[in-house]
Structure 1
Amino acid sequence: MRALNEDACLDLPRKGLWAVADGMGGHTAGDLASGMIVRSLEALAVPNALTGFPVAARGALHTVNHQLREEAARRGVRMIGSTVAVLMAKGREFGWLWAGDSRIYLYRDARLEALTTDHSYVAELQAQGHLSAEAARHHPSQHLITRAVGAADWLDLDEGRIVVRDGDRFLLCSDGLSNEVQAHDIGQALDCGDCRQAADALVELALQAGGRDNVTAVVVRVEDPGASDRTLVNPVVVGG
């Protein structure tokens, strides 16, 4: 339903690096913001240990945040911004950073777990017990996010880390997917074990549900992380 795709994504399995950025709808140049984020992450060097990845990614994103604030001021607009969700791999460890409502999920042992928590007004209402999950899906302020790259002079990023297992699957997605597709259906799509098939199925589910926003999905499967000192993965990205 949208003329412009403001999503951008990154798929660099050889670096152990994936990302989804969703330019903020209704704001000026959301596609510029998401594109700048992806290009800045793409330029990162691979560190010797996972601990170096989040540090480098934070630095890159803070630089983009500053650039977007300057660009917004130059254009005389309040904000040019984008969400971001970044997944990083080194050996048996995966780490992630995020700001906004683009999500990262882990599918392990037939169980889907959200590794990120939305930085949004509705998510805060849920955390305070004022909204059920179902009510949140239909809340009129569903798209009002509280953190984003470019939204404020200081970028606040959350972070997590996990030791992976053989067969783990990760999904990075924009809210064009998570707002349309239920967790049960996301898990079923990931259960097939094939990244291309899972990503295609997830995007199709979002489109069938209405496709009211840009839809981006990145699926990564861990293949025997003990085989060497680097994690072997089977990634695929599908955007629409």
Structure 2
Amino acid sequence: MTCASQFRWTSSARSDVGRVREINEDACLDQPELGRWAVADGMGGHAVGDLASRLVIDTLSRLPPPVGMKALIADARVRLQKANRQLRNEAARRQVQRIGSTVIVLLACDRFCGYLWAGDSRLYLHRDGQLRQLTRDHSQIEELKSLGVITDEQARHHPAQHMITRAVGATDRLELDDDVIEVADGDVFLLCSDGLSNEVTDEEMLAVLTTVECKRAPEELVELALARGGRDNITAVVVQAEDLNASDKTLLNPAP
């Protein structure tokens, strides 16, 4: 027996090469009918980052139907470990140090969403008029911030901005963090690469997610990052949950 979500999911995605880079090394997964979304950011400055991000997304796109959230997260982990080995082997074959990609994955099952990640691609939750970052970057910047060495504002343009401490393909042993959250009616999730989060503030993200419908929100967010200079590839996936069993549906949306 498979584990279906009790929510109806709508989502939209946009990925853009930006204004500086020649190749888009970002890739994304947008499968609302299966309750799966992901963003992968090929490691800039390394060999064939676009190959890495594409491999990660292709691997996740072949996840089987879930029987439960624990099994779904475990399966995603196994597949990402396999992708890690493939990228390590490919780097050895090409005689380069590494071919890597960050990843953030969001998975829906029953009343919950699970998520797992490596690197600095992020997951945000917009709920009750507030925006909360659910992931913690695996980066040198995040470590400096947690030690109180630099502020959030200093982090935005710090020289170590692109130095990540975890990624698929970076080392022989891939470390992934994961967590689970109970979903509420109207929740909006944002998955993005650092090409968005480095250019657009949390307040600006919140403003877009509050005022723009789900289908248009990624376009608006990417355009905002492009207007700021678009110094990196930019990817945004916006996901909205609608609880078909919510008791106040008839009051909020009376039939015509």
Report the counterpart of residue 156 of structure 1 in structure 2: 175
4+ residue runs of structure 1 moved beyond 6 angstroms? none
TM-superposition CA deviations, 1:9-31 (whole Å, max 9, x none): 00111111000000000000100
Q: Highest Rg: 1 or 2?
A: 2
Moved more, 17-26 or 41-50: 41-50
Aligned identity (percent) is: 57
Shift of 1:193: 5.5
Shift of 1:52: 1.3
5+ unaligned residues in a row in structure 2: which ranges? Answer: 1-19, 247-256
What is the identity, as a one-letter code, of the residue corresponding to 1:29?
V
Report the counterpart of residue 200 of structure 1 in structure 2: 219
Is the CA contact (8 Å cut-off) linking 1:165 and 1:225 kept in structure 2?
no
Cα distance between partner residues in 2 of 1:48 and 1:121: 37
Aligned match of 2:198 in 156, 179, 183? 179
Report the counterpart of residue 122 of structure 1 in structure 2: 141
**Structure-2 change in CA distance of 1:226 and 1:52 (3 Å):** farther
Superposed CA RMSD in Å reads: 0.9
Structure 1 residue 41 corresponds to structure 2 residue 60: yes
By relative contact order (CA 8 Å, sep 6+), the higher-ranking structure is 2
Cα distance between partner residues in 1 of 2:137 and 2:21: 23
SS of 2:101's partner is coil
Question: Normalized against structure 2, the TM-score is what?
Answer: 0.87
SS of 1:83's partner is strand
Moved more, 56-65 or 41-50: 41-50
Is the CA contact (8 Å cut-off) linking 1:169 and 1:220 kept in structure 2?
yes
TM-superposition CA deviations, 1:115-162 (whole Å, max 9, x none): 101100011000011110000111101000000000000000000110
Report the counterpart of residue 105 of structure 1 in structure 2: 124
Cα distance between partner residues in 2 of 1:200 and 1:18: 17
Shift of 1:226: 3.7
Shift of 1:192: 2.4
Is the CA contact (8 Å cut-off) linking 1:91 and 1:225 kept in structure 2?
no
Shift of 1:225: 5.6
What is the identity, as a one-letter code, of the residue corresponding to 1:77?
V
Report the counterpart of residue 147 of structure 1 in structure 2: 166
Structure 1 residue 219 corresponds to structure 2 residue 217: no
What is the identity, as a one-letter code, of the residue corresponding to 2:238?
V
TM-superposition CA deviations, 1:173-193 (whole Å, max 9, x none): 000000000000000111126
Moved more, 37-46 or 192-201: 192-201
Cα distance between partner residues in 2 of 1:185 and 1:85: 21
5+ unaligned residues in a row in structure 1: which ranges? Answer: 228-240
Report the counterpart of residue 17 of structure 1 in structure 2: 36
Shift of 1:50: 1.3
SS of 1:97's partner is strand
TM-superposition CA deviations, 1:30-52 (whole Å, max 9, x none): 00000000000001111121111
Cα distance between partner residues in 1 of 2:218 and 2:89: 36
Aligned match of 1:6 in 18, 25, 31? 25
Aligned match of 1:26 in 45, 60, 77? 45
Is the CA contact (8 Å cut-off) linking 1:101 and 1:174 kept in structure 2?
yes
Aligned match of 1:170 in 186, 189, 202? 189
Report the counterpart of residue 93 of structure 1 in structure 2: 112
Q: Alignment length, in residue pairs? A: 227
SS of 1:53's partner is helix
Report the counterpart of residue 91 of structure 2 in structure 1: 72
Aligned match of 1:50 in 66, 69, 94? 69
**Structure-2 change in CA distance of 1:93 and 1:226 (3 Å):** farther
Question: Normalized against structure 1, the TM-score is what?
Answer: 0.93
